[in-house]
Homo-oligomer: A and B are copies of this chain.
């Protein structure tokens, strides 16, 4: 096993009023995975609470103020200098208007069963599909 440090990152699954979640497309300003779609999110800063980080990243990347409403789950992947633990939270919009940062160049509101139409971010795509399947299967 790796002795790399574990770092926490977060993603927000932001739902609109029609059960659609926000997907953002990575722009050419990114070093990798250009054109892949993802939920807003990013690294938790040193000393920052994970919930605060989720809200901050969503404002930065989508211009939206959100409220966390539930836990979606967690996944992990290895990066060159750290193991990333990615905590995914469900959220709803409280205020704001959709406005992208340079990091993304397109946004779409997508019903969970339609995630398969998009080229999703590797490392996280399996989690995204599993989450969608779990949420859309009648209990």
**What is A's interface to B at a CB cutoff of 8 Å?**
1, 3, 5-8, 46-47, 49-51, 67-71, 73-76, 83, 85, 87, 89
The answer on a CB contact under 8 Å between B74 and A87 is yes
CA distance A70 to B50 in the complex (A): 19
The answer on a CB contact under 8 Å between A50 and B89 is no
Question: Which of B46, B51, B73 sits near A74, CB closer than 8 Å?
Answer: B73
The answer on a CB contact under 8 Å between B8 and A69 is no
| Residues on B with beta carbons closer than 8 Å to the beta carbon of A51 | 5-8
The answer on a CB contact under 8 Å between B74 and A1 is no
The answer on a CB contact under 8 Å between B49 and A49 is no
Could you list 16 examples of A-B contacts with CB < 8 Å?
A: A1-B69, A1-B70, A5-B51, A6-B51, A6-B68, A7-B51, A8-B49, A8-B51, A46-B49, A50-B85, A70-B76, A71-B74, A71-B83, A73-B74, A74-B74, A85-B87
Question: Which of B46, B67, B70, B76 sits near A71, CB closer than 8 Å?
Answer: B76
CB distance from A14 to the nearest CB of B (A): 14
Q: A47-B47, A49-B46, A74-B73 are in contact. Are A3 and B85 (CB under 8 A)?
A: no
Q: Which residue of B lies closest to A69 (CB)?
A: B1
